[in-house]
Amino acid sequence: MSFNSLGLSDALLKAINKKGYDKPSPIQEKAIPPILEGKDVLASAQTGTGKTAGFTLPLLQILSEGTIKRQRPVRALILTPTRELAAQIFENVKEYSEFLDIRSAVIFGGVNQRPQVAQLRRGVDVLVATPGRLLDLCNQNVLSLSNVEIFVLDEADRMLDMGFVRDIERIIKLIPKKRQNLMFSATFSKDIKRLATGILTHPVSVEATPENTTVEVIKQKVFRVAKAKKTGLIIKMISEGNWQQVLVFTRTKHGANNLTKKMISAGITAAAIHGNKSQGARTKALAGFKDGSIRVMVATDIAARGLDIPLLPHVINFEIPNIPEDYVHRIGRTGRAGASGIAISLVSADETSFLTDIQKLIGMKIPVEIIEGFEPDPNASTEPVKQGGGRRAPRGGGNNNSGRKSTKSSNTSNSGRRSRDRRN
């Protein structure tokens, strides 16, 4: 299958060619034709499988075939949960529309709104946005969504996780009822299907599962270690292994900052990326990590989700996530584009039950190793740690364990996450 046979215009094919893509990815192959037919589409495929082009290319084609209005009202709205994702999608939209008469813009919070407003006033065909800033600008009447023809919900699973459902509902009230809806997600959960039912009309569902599941391609290891010795162990691994590009996950922002400082003291260039960092700091950290000037990027789950960092050889879970699905997302950052990677998890006694949940989810036992001098503490309690980062906020004084269990029904936890994550 080639891009030519998907029915895309010459202008788009030229842009695709410039990007250097040889052929469509499986999800692109499946999603592009029904979108071009004007159908609502619900698509799910793992992170890194090219979902952005899967909706952007046909969307641009449809817009360029329609009539371009002089005022340039927003005709396509792409919603995404975080600033980084918004910026990345916008980059893609710009690249793919290079040879078309299409204007695009991106808006997100955390930065001055004035340049965004000025740009909207000049007219924009495709708008990429995070929900908070979008609603802000709509409320201020600087932006109208009454001409939206195509509505895209990207990273829909993350939107749910981050408690954006209400905002999405508010936004839908601002766009015309008659429109084409596209929903893209890395996972295909019951919650996603429920959300889709409320938004999409007779959708075509497309799914692409990779030949090798993440879990098979990626080499996984668990190191049992005393909590107090984790920092020493991770520094030893990175230094002795001479690893040059390592993505490290912590459970909390505070933990990310702390570990980053210790890495730097140990002579390893490192930067933290999380929701409390300014947009400038996050962009700079990501750029440094991509160009190799920063060896270690320490991230929280929310900050890292969906970031396009190709070919990561090493992912280390300094703390394993209390939400098992997050483990799969984290280790999905290695072994992208067919390259193999290694995912290491440092597990202390208090994380034992999290590990059990993860192994249940991935359906395999991860091989365990112990390094001399960094042994687990035989006297440490296996009671789960307090949930950090606001991800788990059990109401009504539930104990930690019940907080963790409540992730499945996710209502409680979503409200807990909301206050923090909406700042993205």
Give the interface with Mg ion as residue ranges (CB under 5 A): 51
Q: Please choose, out of 19-27, 203-211, 244-252, 362-370, the segment that lies near ligand ADP by the rule CB under 6 A.
A: 19-27
Least distance between ligand ADP and beta carbon 235 (Å) = 30
Q: Please choose, out of 21-29, 126-134, 207-215, 267-275, the segment that lies near ligand ADP by the rule CB under 6 A.
A: 21-29
Tokens of 413: 């936890």
Backbone angles phi, psi at 45, to 5 degrees: -160, 150
Least distance between ligand ADP and beta carbon 56 (Å) = 8
**Does 53 contact ligand ADP by CB under 6 A?**
yes
E strands present in 243-333: 246-249, 270-273, 296-299, 314-317
Q: What is the DSSP letter of 337?
A: G
**Does 47 contact ligand ADP by CB under 6 A?**
yes
Residue 81 partner contact from Mg ion, ligand ADP, none using kind-dependent CB cut-offs of 5 to 8 Å: none
**Does 305 contact ligand ADP by CB under 6 A?**
no
Query: CB neighbours (10 Å) of residue 78?
Result: 27
Least distance between Mg ion and beta carbon 84 (Å) = 11
Residue identified by tokens 């740009």 is 119
Distance CA 150, CA 58 (A): 11
Among 7, 38, 292, 310, binds ligand ADP (CB under 6 A): 310
Least distance between ligand ADP and beta carbon 218 (Å) = 16
Query: CB neighbours (10 Å) of residue 69?
Result: 11
**Nearest one of 197, 203, 146 to 172, comparing CA atoms:** 146
**Nearest one of 249, 388, 273 to 327, comparing CA atoms:** 249
Among 8, 12, 15, 25, binds ligand ADP (CB under 6 A): 25
| C-alpha of 197 from chain center | 22
Distance CA 405, CA 47 (A): 25
Least distance between ligand ADP and beta carbon 138 (Å) = 26
Nearer to Mg ion, 187 or 387 (CB): 187
Least distance between ligand ADP and beta carbon 330 (Å) = 14
Residue 80: strand, helix, or coil: coil
- 171 near 131, Cβ under 8 Å? yes
Least distance between ligand ADP and beta carbon 46 (Å) = 7
Among 13, 21, 117, 232, binds ligand ADP (CB under 6 A): 21
Distance CA 316, CA 245 (A): 11
Residue 100 partner contact from Mg ion, ligand ADP, none using kind-dependent CB cut-offs of 5 to 8 Å: none
Residue 392 partner contact from Mg ion, ligand ADP, none using kind-dependent CB cut-offs of 5 to 8 Å: none
Distance CA 31, CA 339 (A): 25
**Does 243 contact ligand ADP by CB under 6 A?**
no
**Does 50 contact ligand ADP by CB under 6 A?**
yes
Q: What is the DSSP letter of 349?
A: G
**Nearest one of 196, 185, 263 to 231, comparing CA atoms:** 263
Least distance between ligand ADP and beta carbon 264 (Å) = 29
Half-sphere exposure of 195 (CA within 13 A, CB side): 29
Least distance between Mg ion and beta carbon 198 (Å) = 22
Least distance between ligand ADP and beta carbon 166 (Å) = 24
Distance CA 26, CA 3 (A): 12
- 417 near 391, Cβ under 8 Å? yes
Among 308, 388, 398, 418, binds ligand ADP (CB under 6 A): 308
Residue 25 partner contact from Mg ion, ligand ADP, none using kind-dependent CB cut-offs of 5 to 8 Å: ligand ADP
Query: CB neighbours (10 Å) of residue 176?
Result: 11
- Ranges within 324-343 binding ligand ADP (CB under 6 A): none
Nearer to Mg ion, 92 or 352 (CB): 92
Nearer to ligand ADP, 49 or 407 (CB): 49
Residue 50 partner contact from Mg ion, ligand ADP, none using kind-dependent CB cut-offs of 5 to 8 Å: ligand ADP
Q: Please choose, out of 4-12, 253-261, 305-313, 358-366, the segment that lies near ligand ADP by the rule CB under 6 A.
A: 305-313
Dihedral of the alpha carbons of 191, 192, 194, 195, in degrees to the nearest 10 = 120
Q: Read out DSSP for 31-71?
A: HHHHHHTT--EEEEE-TTS-HHHHHHHHHHHHHHHSPPPTT
Number of residues that bind ligand ADP (CB under 6 A): 15
Residue 7 partner contact from ligand ADP, Mg ion, none using kind-dependent CB cut-offs of 5 to 8 Å: none
Q: Write out the residues near ligand ADP by the rule CB under 6 A.
A: 21, 24-25, 28, 45, 47-53, 306, 308, 310
